[in-house]
Copies of this chain bind each other. A is one copy, B any other.
Amino acid sequence: MRELTVELGERSYPIYIGQGIINQIVAYFDRAKLSRKSPLLIVTDETVAPLHLERVLTLLREGGFAVTACVVPAGETSKSLAQLEGIITAALQAGLDRSSAILALGGGVVGDLAGFAAASFMRGVRFVQIPTTILAHDSSVGGKVAVNHPMAKNIIGAFHQPELVLFDIELLLTLPPREVKAGLSEVIKHGLIWDAEFTQWCADHADELLDLDPDALSYALYIGCKVKSIVVSQDERENDLRAILNLGHTIGHALEAVAGYGELLHGEAIAIGMVGAAKLAQQFGYGEEIHKVTKDMFQKYGLPVRIPAHLDTDSIMSAMTHDKKFKEGTMVYIIPTEIGKVEIRKDVTVHQVREIVELLKEES
> Is A89 on the interface with B (CB-CB < 8 A)?
yes
Counting every copy of the chain, the complex holds 2
Which residues from B are CB-within-8-Å of A329? 37, 97
Judging by beta carbons under 8 Å apart, are B121 and A35 in contact? no
A329 to B85, CA, bound (A): 24
Q: Known A89-B149, A151-B89, A152-B92; judge A158-B99 contact (CB<8 A).
A: no
Q: B-facing mask of A71-112, CB < 8 A → 1, else 0?
A: 000000000011011001100100001110000000000000
A:103-125 near B, CB below 8 Å: 116, 119-124
Do B328 and A156 touch (CB < 8 A)?
Answer: no
Please give, as numbers and ranges, the residues of chain B lying within 8 Å of A310 by CB-CB distance. Answer: none
* A31 beta carbon closer than 8 Å to chain B: no
Centre residue among A85, A88, A156 by max chain B CB count within 10 A: A156
A82, B156: Cα distance in complex, Å: 13
Contact code string A302-342 (vs B, CB < 8 Å = 1, else 0)? 00000000000000000000101011110000000000000
> Which residues of B are found within 8 Å of A35, using beta-carbon distances?
328
Interface presence of A157 (CB below 8 A)? yes
Give the one of A35, A81, A82, A326 with max B CB within 10 A.
Answer: A81
B158–A120 touching, CB < 8 Å: yes
Mask: chain A, 141-185; 1 = CB below 8 Å from B; 0 = not: 000101001011001111100000000000000000000000000
Q: A38-B328, A81-B81, A85-B81 are in contact. Are A92 and B157 (CB under 8 A)?
A: no
Which label, helix, strand, loop or mixed, suits the secondary structure of the A interface? Answer: mixed
B155 A121 Cβ-Cβ under 8 A: yes
- Chain A's interface size range is 35 or more
B97–A327 contact, CB under 8 A?
Answer: yes
Contact of A158 among B124, B327, B328 (CB under 8 A): B124
Nearest opposing residue in chain B for A35, CB measure: B328
Given contacts A149-B85, A152-B92, contact A119 B322 (CB under 8 A): no
Partner of A120 from the list B151, B156, B237 (CB cut-off 8 Å) is B156
Chain B residues whose C-beta falls within 8 Å of the C-beta of A327 in the assembled complex: 97-99
* Contacts A121-B155, A122-B324, A123-B146 supplied; 7 other A-B pairs, CB < 8 Å: A35-B328, A81-B81, A85-B156, A97-B327, A98-B327, A123-B157, A123-B237
> Can you list 28 A-B contacts (CB < 8 A)?
A35-B328, A37-B329, A38-B328, A81-B82, A81-B84, A81-B85, A85-B156, A88-B149, A88-B155, A92-B149, A92-B151, A92-B155, A97-B326, A97-B328, A99-B327, A99-B328, A116-B120, A119-B158, A120-B120, A120-B156, A120-B157, A121-B156, A122-B155, A122-B324, A123-B144, A123-B146, A123-B158, A123-B159
